[in-house]
Amino acid sequence: MLRSDKRKRILKAAEALFAARRYHEATLDEITRIARIGKGTIYLYFKDKEDLFFHAATEGTDELCALIRGKAAGAAPFEERLLSVGGDISTFFLARRHLFRMVQQRAGRMRDAGGRMRRRILAKKAKLVAAITEFLETGVAEKRVRDDVAPVVLAHALLSLLAAINREFADPDKGKPSLDLVVDMFLRGAAPARRRTGKHRATDDGPGGTARRAGRGRRAGGRSAGAGKRVARAGRDPRASKPKPRQGRAVQ
């Protein structure tokens, strides 16, 4: 059996076991039994249980990065390519969501021990962010992505959005939003469609709309009352406003 085949079998067995059990419940003995190899074979490919766990959780990251970079130069419209990239990232997260949760827990516990796991996770994430950044730079060049925000910032935003959606809505009963909607939110924000084009203008339909309507009503009412007083003064008979001369006593 080829070395690469053995490594894949070990990773597949470890991924299945870590996804089904807690970290401390999964043992190397059981992994070797599932993979049908000798226990010593594991140490030919991985340093220890933690190293095996990390590789099982992050396996495929490099392939995903290559896939994203390949779609940057595609001939399809940018939004279609972005939708495809979003699907690739979502599939990657969904397949490993339980493992990622365990990785984060392990990384938190490892901080006092030098933070080795945390540094390795950040290094993998940096590779993925770099690939997404390169992809979004093509969107900027095609004027499909805003150019007043650094592409790396947008890459972090897109990655965080996709990770959060796939983590919080992993249960199909929760009403997970479609990928089309998620990509649309990333490109155009959460504002209503009529506010996406043109200048951002406060409307009466949004927060504070009732107060704005009430304020305009008071101002309009005040103007109407003032105009009514002016009209009343203008329509008054000027002779009626003059005081009558006092009648003197008749001279005998």
Range of the domain at 92: 60-192
Asked if 51 and 107 sit in the same domain, the reply is no
Asked if 51 and 71 sit in the same domain, the reply is no
Asked if 42 and 115 sit in the same domain, the reply is no
Q: For residue 94, count other CB atoms closer than 10 A to its CB.
A: 11
Tokens of 100: 């990622």
pLDDT tens digits along 5-24: 899 999 999 988 988 888 88
Asked if 53 and 86 sit in the same domain, the reply is no
Asked if 73 and 54 sit in the same domain, the reply is no
- Last-in-domain residue among 176, 192, 208: 192
Query: Is residue 53, in this structure, part of any structural domain at all?
Result: yes
Residue 208 pLDDT > 50: no
Query: Is residue 74, in this structure, part of any structural domain at all?
Result: yes
pLDDT tens digits along 132-145: 999 999 999 999 99
Tokens of 163: 């990770």
pLDDT tens digits along 101-133: 777 666 666 554 557 878 888 899 999 999 999
Q: DSSP letters along 17-69, please? A: HHHHS-GGG--HHHHHHHHTS-HHHHTTT-SSHHHHHHHHHHTTHHHHHHHHH
CATH number at residue 19: 1.10.357.10
- Last-in-domain residue among 172, 192, 212: 192
Query: Is residue 222, in this structure, part of any structural domain at all?
Result: no
Residue 83 pLDDT > 60: yes
* Distance between CA atoms of residues 171 and 20, nearest Å: 16
Asked if 134 and 171 sit in the same domain, the reply is yes
Asked if 111 and 185 sit in the same domain, the reply is yes
- Last-in-domain residue among 37, 59, 81: 59
Please report, as a single letter, which amino acid is at residue 226. G
Asked if 31 and 131 sit in the same domain, the reply is no
pTM of the predicted protein model:
0.70
Question: Higher model confidence: residue 210 or residue 230?
Answer: 230
Please state, in angstroms and as integers, the Cα–Cα distance from residue 149 to each residue in 126, 135, 162, following that order.
18, 15, 19
Confidence class of residue 209 from pLDDT cuts 50, 70 and 90? very low
What total of structural domains would you count in the chain? 2
Asked if 44 and 86 sit in the same domain, the reply is no
Asked if 38 and 124 sit in the same domain, the reply is no
* Distance between CA atoms of residues 212 and 231, nearest Å: 29
Comparing C-alpha atoms, which of 86, 99, 101, 103 is closest to residue 184? 86
Please report, as a single letter, which amino acid is at residue 176. K
Query: Is residue 12, in this structure, part of any structural domain at all?
Result: yes
Question: Higher model confidence: residue 120 or residue 80?
Answer: 80
Query: Is residue 118, in this structure, part of any structural domain at all?
Result: yes
Confidence class of residue 177 from pLDDT cuts 50, 70 and 90? confident
* Distance between CA atoms of residues 38 and 9, nearest Å: 12
* Distance between CA atoms of residues 77 and 71, nearest Å: 11
Least confident window among 28-32, 147-151, 248-252? 248-252
Asked if 83 and 40 sit in the same domain, the reply is no
Asked if 169 and 188 sit in the same domain, the reply is yes
Cβ–Cβ < 8 Å for 17, 26: yes
Confidence class of residue 73 from pLDDT cuts 50, 70 and 90? confident
Query: Is residue 207, in this structure, part of any structural domain at all?
Result: no
